[in-house]
Amino acid sequence: MTAPKAIPPRSEIAHEHTWNAESVYADRAAWQAELKAIEAELPKLAPYQGRLSESAAVLAEWFELSEALARRVSTLAFYAFMSQACNSTDDEAVSMAGAAGSVASRYGATVSFEQPELLAMGEARLNEWAAAEPKLAIYKHAFHDLFRQQAHVRSAEVEEVLAMASEPFGAVDNTENMLTSADLQFNPIVTAESSTPLVQGNIWTFMESQDRDLRRQAWENYQDGYLAMKNTLASNYIASVKRDVFYARARRYPSSLEASLFRNNIPRAVFDNLIATYRKNIPTWHKYWAIRRKALGVEALNPYDIWAPITQKPPVVPFKQAVDWICEGLSPLGADYVNALRQGCLEDRWVDIYPNQGKSSGAFSYGAYDTHPFIMMSYDDNLGAMSTLSHELGHSMHSYLTRKNQPYAYGNYTLFVAEVASNFNQAMTRANLFRTQSDPAFQIGLIEEAMSNLHRYFFIMPTLARFETDVHERVERGQGVTAADLNGLMADLFSEGYGSEMVVDRDRVGITWSQFGHLYSNFYVYQYATGISAAHALAGRILDGVPNAAADYVRFLSAGSSLYPVDALKVAGVDMATPEAVERTFAVLAEYVERLDKLTGG
């Protein structure tokens, strides 16, 4: 089998296949002009310091001014970040991202007096003002959340310092992105016919190849590229962990984990139940590895076989076909939902579709309150790419409906609920294809796609959450942590999950942690597993014909942050304070394993 085609430079990508940057700013000169205009506006905020308690009218005036500027700053920052993510070799975009980060940090420092002043006023007084002044009425939930977190808000001086620290601390994240997207080099993939560069944008095309030698080369070369930088990557990651610990202690939380959970009002039991449920279900993964090994006809399974196609006729799914199938699967949500999604993909250019040199790895949906919800990905015409597109469109439609229905104050949502919408879209798309595509090869391919998704969410992410917990606890105890420590811990955790069916190259498996920028967000990864759990529970309600289930789900998508995450999910019909949804999704995983066993003649 020949190697995949070479990845083109950004300049060769057709304009219609790129994100609609001009809908945000006409050009980069307009962005630069907006940067200067925002810098000129910042001084208008400072005179309000010490005045928020003067009257309800002054407070309403402050919210109007500060939020208007916040919206402009977030749009400015998004444009720069998206430009850099789509081409990390674009020096101008990199410079823009730095400038945007700087002005965002200055904005944060300038408004840092707000929370301390509001807290000094007292919740009763603010609620009285919210009842008397219509412009303040929408902030009642925000006031409640502020006072819920009162013990962790520091003095105005300390808050200013913490806000100022965000810029230098942010360099840790940018260093990770530049290392892995721009500077990291991999040995090429060599076949009898050619030598093809291995880059972030084409790794998964190789890993999903039917050619085992291509997969082996891709996996080994990819892991080796990270191993060559293991000490730098480890130093940078530990710096991010120390940042988490610093913020947790500065805000007087007992640990980094508690800081993350408290911020979103998530009970500790949600996290603990997830880890316990994962460990209990590890034998299901062992069974899957055994079935996959037999189906592939190999004596021993290697990590590079995890994504190998079992079917010899994997479906080809062009971008437009993917959009059509996704829309069909989501039709129970109604015409308004489907029409907005279709127009976003095919007319308004929400998606930066195809791979190019310098494009960041993975995929994401991102935008500002006043922009479209854009998607960056590297689409490559298969079921996995369709699944990724469906996933990111879940995020995008969540953002679209939130911003359509909520004021700026509630125009976003927490990470805890973010992964619900994305996995819901995948579950609904998959269910429709299982129902309409009867070809056994397609069915096997669809199960493989589902298992690949579950592998990421219910194998890798819980494993990374265990890894993250251990590393944070070591740092919180004052222990030194080296690259060897990180790699050894990762290898141990994966070995437990792989069992006896998988050959574990400890060095190469051990460096896996460095390939997930998610770890740079304090205790983010566990929310992938809780998110997919809620998603399957909610999709099940709709597929089972529960009355009003679709309307309840759209209400959840439209709530933004006007409700706490667990409460918002209760609106949709699931209670994440119990382990029921997690258990149900592991049952789905077990069902797929059984179906695959039967389809492959087990």
Catalytic residue set: 392
| 189 contacts 217 by C-beta, under 8 angstroms | yes
Number of Cβ within 10 Å of residue 348's Cβ equals 15
Query: Which long-range contacts (C-beta less than 8 Å, at least 24 apart) are formed by 438-446?
Result: 440/599, 441/311, 441/312, 441/313, 441/315, 442/311, 442/315, 443/599, 444/310, 444/311, 444/596, 444/599, 444/600, 445/309, 445/311, 445/314, 445/315, 445/383, 446/383
Cα–Cα distance for residue pair 489/475, rounded to 1 Å: 14
Side chain identity at residue 98, one-letter code: G
Backbone angles phi, psi at 375, to 5 degrees: -125, 130
DSSP-based three-state secondary structure for 374: strand
Stretch (H or E) spanning 136: none
For residue 366, the cross-strand partners are: 374
| 562 contacts 448 by C-beta, under 8 angstroms | no
Tell me, rounded to whole angstroms, the distance of Cα 277 from its chain centroid.
Answer: 22
Percentages of the chain per state (helix, strand, coil), in multiples of 5: 70, 0, 25
Structure-block tokens of residue 595: 């179906």
Angle, CA 192 vertex, CA 191 and CA 198 arms, to 5°:
20
Number of Cβ within 10 Å of residue 368's Cβ equals 24
Residue partners of 37: CB distance under 8 A and separation at least 6 = none
CA distances from 188 to 166, 196, 202, 217, 226 (A): 38, 5, 11, 8, 14
DSSP-based three-state secondary structure for 359: coil
For residue 189, the cross-strand partners are: 196
